[in-house]
Amino acid sequence: MENKLREYVEVDRTPGRKLPNKIYTDTLPDVYVSKNRVELQELHYSNEGKGRRSTYNCRSTTTLDFNNSHLFSPLRSKLHKHDFFELMLIASDDFEMQIESQLCEFTKWDVCILNRSVRHAEHFKPEAKVFYLVMSPEYLLNWPQEEGMSLQRSLLFTKFFDKGLRDTSCQNKEFIAFRYTDQAIITPIYGIIRDIRREFENKNPGYQFFIRGLLYRLFCTLVDPTHYITEYINLGSDDGFSLAFSAKQILDKNKRKMTNLQMAEKLNYNSEYINRVFKKHYGYSISEYNRLICIREAASMLCHSNQNIHGICKLLGFSNRTHFYNLFKNEYGYTPSDYRKKCAKR
C-alpha cells in the first residue's frame, strides 16, 4: 500500500476478515493497549523514511504502515507516559530515548522497563528496530504466586512493580535499564520474544498460559548477571518539569514565533524562570526551540502547500526574510526554494 506523507495507515492482516483501514494524520500513534492485558509490538524504521509497526495480542494482528512526515528529519515520538508498564528490547545498533529530562542511549539487545509515571520520547534513527512488551496493571496484579512462577523470587521486580502499582498519584519516576554483556551473540530474550509472537499468531488452546511462562523466563534472564548488568534509576520528582512540559506543548501547537513575555502571560509565571527550567529539561532556550519549531513548520509547508515563501515567512511571524533564509539554510543545508524543488522530486 502506498502511503502519502503525513499519513499513517493501520491495516488489519487477519486472514478472512475485511475491516476498514484506520488512517491517522500528523502523529504516529503510540503503543496502545485496547483492553489487552498484555501485548507485543514490533517497530521497524527504514533508512528510506518508511516503517511498519506490527501488533500482536489476544485479538487480531494489525500493522501500521507509515512514512516519516518530515523530510530529512529523524522520526521522534512526542514526550508521553502510559497507564501500563512498557518493556523495550532494542534490536538495532544504537537507540536514543529521552526519559524525563535525561537523554539515554542504548545499544543492541539492551532492555528498558518504564513504569507508568515516567515521561519518555523515542528517537528513531534509520534502520531502528524495537520490540515493545506492554503489561497492564491488571495483568501484573493477577500474576500467579505458586512455587516456580512468583516474581517475589526476584526482589528487583518485586520492588519495581509493587511501587508502580501502588503509585496512584503517578509520582514514582523510576525505570530499569538492562545492559547486555555480550554484543557478539544474540540475547536469549530475542528468542523469547519470537516465541511470544508465535503464540499470539497461532492462538492454540492455552496460549495465554504459555505467554505467562515465557514472560517469567524473560524476567529471569534479565536478572541473570551472565547476560545483563542492571541499572535501577530513580529520577525523583521535579516540579519545574511540568512547567517546562506545558511551555513545550504551547510551542509545538502554536508553530509560529512567540516571545518569552507572551509565554509568561499564557502560563502566569516569570519569563526568566520558565526559560531556565525549559533549558534545563530540553537543552534549548525558549527562543531557540521556538525558532526550530518554526523552521520545521516552514519546511513542511514548503513540501505540502503552494504558499509562496514570503507568505510562509509572514504566517510564521518572521519580519526579516533574510534572517529566515539564513536560519533555514543552517538547519537543512538548502535555501527554502531549493528545498521545495528537492521535495517536488520525491
Q: Decide which of 36 and 195 is more confident.
A: 195
**Grid coordinates belonging to 104:** 539515554
**C-alpha span between 321 and 318 (Å, rounded):** 7
Q: Is the pLDDT of residue 221 over 80?
A: yes
Identify whether residues 230 and 257 lie together within a single domain: no
123 assigned to some structural domain: yes
**Grid coordinates belonging to 14:** 487477519
- Could you please report the per-residue DSSP string of 250-290? HHHHH-S---HHHHHHHHTS-HHHHHHHHHHHHSS-HHHHH
Identify whether residues 229 and 248 lie together within a single domain: no
**C-alpha span between 136 and 156 (Å, rounded):** 19
Identify whether residues 222 and 281 lie together within a single domain: no
pLDDT one-digit tens code per residue, 260-290? 999 988 887 889 989 998 888 778 899 999 9
1 assigned to some structural domain: no
Last residue of a domain, one of 196, 216, 234: 234
2 assigned to some structural domain: no
287 assigned to some structural domain: yes
Confidence of residue 91 (pLDDT cuts 50, 70, 90): very high
Q: How many domains does the chain fold into? A: 2
Whether the model clears a pTM of 0.75, i.e. scores above it, the answer is no
Identify whether residues 143 and 72 lie together within a single domain: yes
Identify whether residues 173 and 289 lie together within a single domain: no
Identify whether residues 192 and 271 lie together within a single domain: no
The predicted structure's pLDDT at residue 28: 53
Mean pLDDT of 180-201: 94
Mean pLDDT of 241-247: 79
Domain of residue 257, CATH code: 1.10.10.60
Identify whether residues 101 and 177 lie together within a single domain: yes
Last residue of a domain, one of 174, 199, 234: 234
Closest CA to 174 of 222, 117, 218: 117
Q: Is the pLDDT of residue 56 over 90?
A: yes
Domain hosting residue 254, numbered range: 239-344
Identify whether residues 292 and 308 lie together within a single domain: yes
The winner for highest mean pLDDT among 41-50, 77-86, 156-165, 218-227 is 218-227
Long-range contacts of 266-269 (CB under 8 A, 24+ apart): 267/243, 269/243
Identify whether residues 36 and 146 lie together within a single domain: yes
The predicted structure's pLDDT at residue 132: 95
Identify whether residues 266 and 305 lie together within a single domain: yes
Identify whether residues 55 and 136 lie together within a single domain: yes
Considering only CA atoms, give the Rg of the chain. 22
207 assigned to some structural domain: yes
Last residue of a domain, one of 181, 202, 234: 234
205 assigned to some structural domain: yes
Contact 56, 36 (CB under 8 A): no
The predicted structure's pLDDT at residue 162: 83
Domain of residue 184, CATH code: 2.60.120.280
Share of the chain above pLDDT 90, in %: 35
Q: Is the pLDDT of residue 192 over 90?
A: yes
Q: Is the pLDDT of residue 114 over 90?
A: yes
Identify whether residues 226 and 243 lie together within a single domain: no
Q: Can you tell me whether residue 295 is helix, strand or coil?
A: helix
The predicted structure's pLDDT at residue 161: 86
